[in-house]
Chain A
Amino acid sequence: MITFEGVTKRYGDGTVAVDNLSLRVPTGAVTVFVGPSGCGKTTSLRMINRMIEASSGRILLDGRDVREIDPPTLRRGIGYVIQQAGLFPHRKIVDNVATVPYLLGWDKKKARARAMELLERVGLDTKLAGRYPFQLSGGQQQRVGVARALAADPPVLLMDEPFSAVDPVVRTSLQDELLRLQAELHKTIVFVTHDIDEAIKLGDTVAVLRVGGRLAQIADPATLLSRPEDDFVEGFLGRDRGIRRLSFVPASGVAVRSEPHVPGWNVVLDGDGRPLGWRPDDAATPSGAPVNRTGSRDGSAPAPDGVLPFGAFDPAKDSLRAALDAALLAPSGCAIAVDGAGRFQGIVTREALDRALLQAGGAEPARPAGSGSSTPREVGDEAGNSGSGVSDRSSATGGSDGPSSSRGPGGDGAAAHG
């Protein structure tokens, strides 16, 4: 647990970078500091390992004021990942990763063995160990940066915009990698970014800071999306909050019909029971009709003629957002549920989705991954913000009232689509 108690950073020229910041960073979870430039997020991060000293207030690391700890000792116990990786250009990758173990006086063999283990852990080929940093791509360098931060197995990891200098595709894979690592390692991570989508993707808790270094709101991502505390937070979160919030609602609650057809449409399966697409009932027209040729979900096999595109999701893993997306992709308006191996499980109709969306709108959302971060501020403020919250929910589930009022077991509403 890292606790900020009334922390302020004031510079000599009177600029206030961080203004009376109080918050708690829970152990074993990812806390993201997010905000526009000039909001003091990096300053706040660097005050934890005393790269910047606070002007007033205290920062406690598991109850101990960080100012009681000699800076190098403090820092060797806290992993740090910096933008552009900050690798030492004159040291080989393996020695870069072993930096902190060397500083802690491990013998070279043990430190290098540990470094090799970590390279594998962050998904790097150990053949890269003997190279120099410039010989690696930006994404690889950043992975090495993460491995280096983890080398001495510190309980706390500080990450200062670590993925902002790489291209979007690499960034996504680095983010996924971090989530995977965190699921194994359960570090206490403080992550700084200016990218709200990154914050929402990675954070168990997200602290939104405003210019001048003041805390605007701290909450779990789903709460942040559904109940932003003020206009600043709402503006910073951007559009489509209702839809984005669905990412935090598991799709497991949605009703699945096991028959591979709805009125007017049939699901076409391959030999292994994987869906290939939808075929209209009257698709006796074998040729001539201009039919889209679409691939299966992963694009591996072309669909046969007369089969139309489909969307699929895995109710055990995916969010309601994925389910909704799957339904929107299909001409039948229905999503196909698949199991972990991609085999057909059933069909989710629009009506079933509508009911799930309506429930999601009313229920307190939870992360599919299951984070336990509590947001005490939110509870007290609920009444004051209920207006925006409710209107948001109704827009997320827009138009749901009509069809979902028909309480039949799903199939009866399909006539509306036929």
Chain B
Amino acid sequence: MGEEPLIRWAWIGRNWPQIEGMLVDHVVMALVPALLGLLVALPLGLASARWRVLYQPTVSLMNVVYSLPSLAVFIVLIPLTGLAERTTVIIPLTFYSLAVLIPAVVDGLESVPDHVRQSAVAMGFGPMRRLLQVELPIAVPVVLAGLRVATVSSISLVSVGALIGRGGLGYLFIDGWQRQFPTPIIVGIVLVVVLAVLADGLLVLAQRLLTPWARARRTA
């Protein structure tokens, strides 16, 4: 890259509309798996916490899924969902976030102190009400901590989709590498990091708003 400057601002200006499109694509492909993962992890986590025998098999299965190389999963999915399609990227990333979120939901429910659960029973909470009004709210900090990990890792993993032609900002890495041109690579890295920091910050904010009782505990 000898005489090539590290960054060419003019290039960014010229290509901004495309970069913007990739950014939006990236956000969608990163956040949908995290949210979808949360949606699926809640019932699975609840079931695993309720019937402990389910917990180990579920987590083991999720860990196996997590260990599958994403590229391999893409290739398996291409005939079903298509090349360069968002769905092909979203499906494996959803599984990855599940692997983080199911244990988070189970741990969250287990973070409910036994005397709190028992006093809820003794006050006359039915099982559903107890879950919704006592156990889930108390599980929120732990679940949100899991969601932060899932979201940030999802944001970084989307880039791999570039290998099948749908990687959001990941395209910039391939483009820059193929042309021995650093500007897109740097733009890609900066945007991915900014995205991750932003998403994480929003989740921290959400946590503070949702669980003032836990924030106070941290500062106590």
Contacts and interface: CB of A to CB of B under 8 A. Distances in A.
Contacts of B211: 90
Nearest to B212: A132
Interface stretch (A72-80, A120-128, A219-227): A72-80
Interface in B89-122: 113, 115-116, 118-122
A132 B116 contact: no
B16 interface: no
B134 interface: yes
B177 interface: no
Contact of A88 (B116, B121, B217): B116
Interface centre among B120, B137, B213, by most chain A C-beta atoms within 10 angstroms, is: B213
A89 B213 contact: yes
Nearest to A84: B115
B64 interface: no
B119 A80 contact: yes
Contacts of B216: 132, 134-135
Contacts of A89: 113, 116, 138, 213-214, 217
Interface in A53-79: 71-76
Contact of A80 (B123, B213, B214, B217): B123
B126 interface: yes
B53 interface: no
Contacts of B129: 103
B137 A103 contact: no
Given A83-B115, A132-B212, A88 B122 contact: no
B116 A86 contact: yes
Contacts of B116: 86-89
A82 interface: yes
A72 B212 contact: no
Interface in B199-220: 211-214, 216-217, 220
Contacts of B217: 89, 132, 134
Nearest to A86: B119
Nearest to A134: B217
A77 B40 CA distance: 38
Interface residues of B, number: 24
A82 B124 contact: no
Contacts of B115: 82-86
A377 B124 CA distance: 36
Interface residues of A, number: 29
Contacts of B126: 72
A134 B118 contact: no
Nearest to A89: B213
Interface in B109-168: 113, 115-116, 118-126, 129, 134, 137-138, 140
B169 to A, nearest CB: 38
A278 B125 CA distance: 62
A90 B138 contact: yes
Nearest to B213: A132
A143 to B, nearest CB: 15
Given A83-B115, A86-B116, A134 B124 contact: no
A51 B118 contact: yes
B209 to A, nearest CB: 13
A100 interface: yes
A99 interface: yes
A103 B211 CA distance: 22
A409 to B, nearest CB: 59
Given A89-B138, A134-B216, A51 B124 contact: no
Given A86-B116, A86-B119, A75 B212 contact: no
B145 to A, nearest CB: 16
Interface of A: 49, 51, 71-76, 80, 82-91, 99-100, 103, 132-135, 145, 148, 158
Q: Kindly list the 4 A-B residue pairs having the minimum CB-CB distance in the complex, ordered from nearest.
A: A86-B119, A76-B124, A80-B122, A75-B124
26 contacts: A74-B124, A75-B122, A75-B123, A76-B123, A76-B124, A80-B119, A82-B115, A82-B118, A82-B122, A84-B113, A85-B119, A86-B115, A89-B113, A89-B116, A89-B138, A89-B213, A89-B217, A90-B211, A91-B213, A103-B123, A132-B216, A134-B213, A134-B216, A134-B220, A135-B220, A145-B119
